[in-house]
Chain A
Amino acid sequence: MRARDNPFRTDRVLSVRYQLAEGTFDGLLDRFEAMGRRAAIVGPKGHGKTTLLEDLTPRLRDRGFTVRELRLDEDQPRFDRAFLGEFLRSLGGRDVILLDGAEQLGWFAWFRFERATRAAGGLLVTTHRAGRLPTLIETTTTPELLDGLVGEILGRGAPDVRSITRGLFEKHRGNLREALRELYDHYAAVEA
């Protein structure tokens, strides 16, 4: 199968948005507001933290905030010092910082960052473990959620692949990103 025809190609997978297990996005943002706009989205790798953060972005803008996005990952685990200094100096009271990958910062770097961002209108981070900021939500996954995502990607009339997805969910310990990447390989092996 050509890469462009693979239903689990990256752009298709990324088009599937976060599905809240309960409540609404507005309710979640109300809670963020009640927490003083400083909170964390907590969950293991591949459990939808980044997707949820992306999905909250336009809703924060709709509430009149200026979203300031920062990202750290294994390829770039630290901030460039000059960039960060400029960034912190530019913060205003209606700026909400969305930091994806807060677990990359060591405790001392985190302590300084957290303190330096108190002038901002808010700070919402994603992190693998609780403790850096009060937890807004813990992202969780289930085999049924993976089935639902696969169904959404494959569309109506697609073959039932639950016999595969259950095994993938277990194999990747709930990491949906890895499970969907393995489904890419499964479909890639199919002749056009």
Chain B
Amino acid sequence: MSNLHLEIADGKMNYRPGEMVEGVAFWELPELPKLLELRLFWRTQGKGTVDHQVVATIAFDGAKPTDRRPFRFALPAEPYSVSGILVSIVWGLELVAEPDGGSAGVEIVISSTGEEVRLEKKK
């Protein structure tokens, strides 16, 4: 049985560009996977084609099947976390064990205010 977890320091979910997101990744796996890495990414959600980009990764080389590792990413300037009716841009961290080792993820918000930018429909 695979168990992967992500814990962000102080439970902080809202960030400004350039800030650091840090925390601890930990896992219990039956055996060491071929790939164990943490990804910082954004993806679109909405009506159209799904787009996504992994902007940074940390590979946990030399990890044990049960282990915990600290992580730290400097957050990029863009794109901001944003939501409208047709599309949202969602930032997240995902710990992935491949193949077939499962994953764990957490969403974060990046913008100049630390709050998701809302694109409102004109009244």
Contact = CB atoms under 8 A, between A and B. Distances in A.
Contacts of A4: 45-46, 83, 88, 90
A2 interface: yes
Contact of B88 (A3, A184, A185): A3
A67 to B, nearest CB: 15
Contacts of A181: 47
A184 B83 contact: no
A2 B47 contact: no
A3 B49 contact: no
Given A9-B45, A10-B45, A3 B84 contact: yes
A188 interface: yes
B38 to A, nearest CB: 21
Interface string B27-55: 00000000000000001011111100000
A3 B50 contact: no
A2 B86 contact: no
Contact of B84 (A2, A9, A184, A185): A2
Interface in A168-192: 181, 184-185, 188
Contacts of B47: 3, 6, 9-10, 181, 184-185, 188
A2 B83 contact: yes
Contacts of A185: 47
A11 interface: yes
Contacts of A9: 45-47
Given A9-B45, A10-B45, A11-B45, A2 B88 contact: yes
Contacts of A1: 85
A11 B86 CA distance: 13
Interface string A1-27: 111101001110010000000000000
Contacts, number: 41
Interface in B66-114: 83-88, 90
A186 B40 CA distance: 33
Nearest to A3: B46
Residue among A4, A184, A188 having the largest count of chain B Cβ atoms under 10 Å: A4
Nearest to A14: B50
Contacts of B83: 2-4
A10 B50 contact: yes
Contacts of A11: 43, 45, 50
Nearest to B86: A3
Interface string A102-126: 0000000000000000000000000
A10 B87 CA distance: 10
A181 B46 CA distance: 10
Interface of B: 43, 45-50, 83-88, 90, 118
Interface of A: 1-4, 6, 9-11, 14, 181, 184-185, 188
21 contacts: A2-B83, A2-B118, A3-B45, A3-B83, A3-B84, A3-B85, A3-B86, A3-B88, A4-B46, A4-B88, A4-B90, A6-B46, A6-B47, A10-B45, A10-B46, A10-B47, A10-B48, A14-B50, A185-B47, A188-B47, A188-B86
